[in-house]
Amino acid sequence: MKAVVANDHGAVALTKEIVGHLQDRGIEVDYLGIANEEPVDYPDMARLACEKYLAGGYDFGVVCCGTGIGISISANKIHGIRCALPQNVFAATMAKEHNNANFIAFGGRIEYPQPVSEMLDAYLDAQFCGGRHQRRVDKIMELES
C-alpha cells in the first residue's frame, strides 16, 4: 500500500506519529507536509495531497491540521475526494465500510477518546461494503456535478 500524507503547522507532532505508524505497518508514505511549526495554510496542504493522490499510485491519503476540520473541508472541495474526520474507532471504520473514504483527517490539537493509531488501523483494516452503500457513495459523488 502507498499513502500520501500532508499537514499544516497545527499537527506536526501528530503527523510524525501517523507517518511512523503507517511505515511500521509496511505502508509506503509520500510525506508532503511540514516538519516545523512555521505557519502554512491548510487549504494549500489539502490541495497538494489531494492532487498528488488523484495523479495516481496511492491507496489513500491522510491530512492533518489543528482540528482536522479545515483541512478535511478543503480536501472535500476537490473533485473525487471523500475525506472523513472520525472522532473514534467506530467512525473510522464506518468511513471506509459505508462511505469508502479515500482520505482521512485528524487534528493535532484534539484530545481523542482513543489513540489516533487505533482509529487509523480501524480505517485501514475495514473494507468497503458496497451494495446499498455504493448507491449512496455514488449520490455523494454526484453532488460534485
pLDDT tens column, 37-47: 899 999 999 99
State yes or no: pLDDT of 33 exceeds 90: yes
Q: Which of 21, 98, 129, 133 is catalytic?
A: 98
CATH fold label, 2-142: Ribose 5-phosphate Isomerase B; Chain: A, (3.40.1400)
**Nearest-angstrom CA–CA distance, 75 and 73:** 6
* pLDDT 10s digits, 124-139: 999 999 999 999 999 9
Q: Is position 65 annotated as part of the catalytic site? A: yes
Q: Which of 50, 65, 129, 133 is catalytic?
A: 65
* pLDDT 10s digits, 58-95: 999 999 999 999 999 999 999 999 999 999 999 999 99
Beta bridge partners of 61: 4, 103
Q: Is position 98 annotated as part of the catalytic site? A: yes
